[in-house]
Structure 1
Amino acid sequence: MLAQQAISVRGLEKSYGKLHVLRGVDFDVARGSIFALLGSNGAGKTTVVNILSTLLKADAGTAGVNGFDVASQGAEVRESISLTGQFAAVDEILSGRENLVLVARLRHLKRPGAIADDLLARFSLTEAGGRKVSTYSGGMRRRLDLAMSLIGDPPVIFLDEPTTGLDPEARIEVWDAVKELASRGTTVLLTTQYLDEAEQFADRIAILHHGRIIVDGSLAELKQLLPPAKVEYVEKQPTLEDVFLAIVGDDDRNGQ
């Protein structure tokens, strides 16, 4: 794997019986970047994340994370990553600070209390740190979940549908936290169905459709796939949603 790539995937395949979920997926993620993997429901986004995080074995192909092979160096990969799923994995009985201290102790880190206090400050949760998580809003829970994923300073973080079920204000809170992660050099691979999120925050965007990556590039590169915008009085630039629907088509909406 090239040293500048935090994640490298080649020919990834996965099937469940006769259902072919991944049919040869290829992409690279540069270190310190935000990479968005887009796709409709059932496109295989979570399957890709589960393979990269060693939760699932691929049928064929290769994948590397932080310089380690996913298939043969699973322990090293797991030490290099953190995974945040669609729902915040926090203990509602404990306080926010207690959740962080618990994870720090499980990772056998020194000074878990100091680590917890630092992360509470970074994610604007200091005042709420002593309260039970059951009293937190959705955005606060997700920010705490992200803070927990940073314990041990993993160089690569997987965010699988991180804003599912959150209201607009909570989504903004989460994305502020994600941008802060990337600004510190953390590599972020995120899956999402919210095209506006990828449009605003991702350095590169890949669209997964029918088990394959059909486009992969920056937002500017993806926009060039469409015809030039028609100019009447004001030039209308295509959005990422325009690009996605033009490439994928309406077959998913029609149940095909």
Structure 2
Amino acid sequence: MTTEDARNIAIRVRGVTKAFAEVQVLRGVDFDVEAGTIFALLGSNGAGKTTLVRILSTLLKADAGTAVINNWDVVSAPGGVRESISLTGQFSAVDEMLSGRENLELIARLRHLKNPGAIADTMLARFSLTDAGSRKAAVYSGGMRRRLDIAMSLIGDPPVVFLDEPTSGLDPQARIDVWQTVRELAKHGTTVLLTTQYLDEAEKLADRIAILHHGTIIQNGTLDELERLLPSTTVEYVEKRPSLEDVFLALVDDTTTSDAGTASVTKGF
């Protein structure tokens, strides 16, 4: 690897292990994440995804191995890592007693940033929450609350963002809203490490996908590279039926364009 390639790696993990009592959760994890890309860590419940994210975000110490985030070692320079990252966990961290704008202002003040009100307004606009900014977070929908949660985590423009199962428990429309938010992050140069157990989520969002199974990465590559691991199938021409996602979006939107074609549906039936 050249020096230039090394500088372009935002996350480097080598030989990370972690055990809890007699249970070996991570058994030597290795991967790199290129700066400005979306890296999906795919695995079933209990595969060790959250444990790994907690190690990378300095919330938990590994038993062995090394991890470097934005050129900072998680063990020898945890302060540098924390300044470089943001973590959005599986459960929303918003204060429901505060409005959306107040939540954002609070984070800006905690980061000792100037003009917290202006920062809050900018983030509300960026995440399409301006109209809801004055309302308490308690009345937000699941998708709105998750967008606010991500907006809070991006205050201060961290170069690396960890999203730990960000769409867990969300309805289909809210999931799509979060997906668009994640795409926008990478579009603006943010490095995103996304953990998920949803195959379609990794397929739609990730530049690279790593499969974590029994504590190790068993495959790591682009979607095309992973698809080529299986033998090709016989091609048959069949009528394409609309998916459940196509039907759902057509029914909840006045006009929806999808892979199944264009459907115009009037609400209320």
Q: TM-score, normalised by structure 1?
A: 0.90
2:213, 2:181 → 1: CA distance? 29
Counterpart of 1:42? 46
**Aligned pair 1:64/2:68, yes or no?**
yes
Deviations 1:161-199 (A, max 9, x none): 000100001101111111111100000001001110110
The separation in 1 between residues aligned to 2:87 and 2:236, in whole angstroms, is 47
Query: Which residue in the other structure is 1:96 paired with?
Result: 100
Q: Which runs of 4+ in 1 moved over 2 A?
A: 231-234
Residue in structure 1 matched with residue 235 of structure 2 by the alignment? 231
- Name the aligned partner's letter for residue 97 of structure 1: R
CA distance in 1 between counterparts of 2:178 and 2:237 reads 37
* One-letter amino acid of the counterpart of residue 84, structure 2: S
Task: Name the structure 2 match of 1:4.
Answer: 8
**Aligned residue number for residue 213 of structure 1:** 217
Q: Which of 75, 81, 89 is the equivalent residue of 1:85? A: 89
Q: CA separation in 1, counterparts of 2:147 and 2:173?
A: 12
Structure 2 counterpart of 1:134: 138
Alignment of 1:160-175 (within 5 A): 160-175=164-179
Given residue 14 of structure 2, which amino acid in structure 1 is its aligned partner?
R
Cα displacement string for residues 184-235 of structure 1 (whole angstroms, at most 9, x for unaligned residues): 000000100111011011000000001100000000000000001222336x
Structure 1 residue 119 corresponds to structure 2 residue 130: no
Return the offset for 1:18: 1.1
CA–CA separation in structure 2 for the residues paired with 1:71 and 1:159 = 21
Where 2:62 maps in the other structure, the secondary structure is coil
How many angstroms does 1:32 deviate by?
0.2
Mark the runs of 5 or more structure 2 residues left unpaired by the alignment: 241-269
2:148 to 144, 148, 153: 144
For the pair 1:22 / 2:26, whether they are aligned, the reply is yes
Counterpart position of 1:254? none
| Counterpart amino acid of residue 185 in structure 2 | L
Shift of 1:112: 0.5
The two structures, once aligned, show a CA RMSD in angstroms of 1.1
1:239 is matched with: none
What count of residue pairs does the alignment treat as equivalent? 235
Is the partner of 1:72 in helix, strand or coil?
coil
The separation in 2 between residues aligned to 1:98 and 1:157, in whole angstroms, is: 22
User: Secondary structure of 2:201's partner?
Assistant: helix
3-state SS of 2:60 partner: coil
Q: 2:197 aligns to what?
A: 193
One-letter amino acid matched to 2:156 = G
Q: Percent identity?
A: 74
1:156 paired with 2:160, answer: yes
- Following the alignment from structure 1 to structure 2, what is the Cα–Cα distance between the partners of residues 133 and 40? 31
Question: Structure 1: 5+ residue runs without aligned partners?
Answer: 237-256
Distance 1:153 1:109 in 2: 11
**SS in structure 2 at match of 1:153:** coil
Distance (whole Å) between structure 1 residues aligned to residue 182 and residue 123 of structure 2: 13
- Give secondary structure in 2 for the equivalent of 1:127: helix
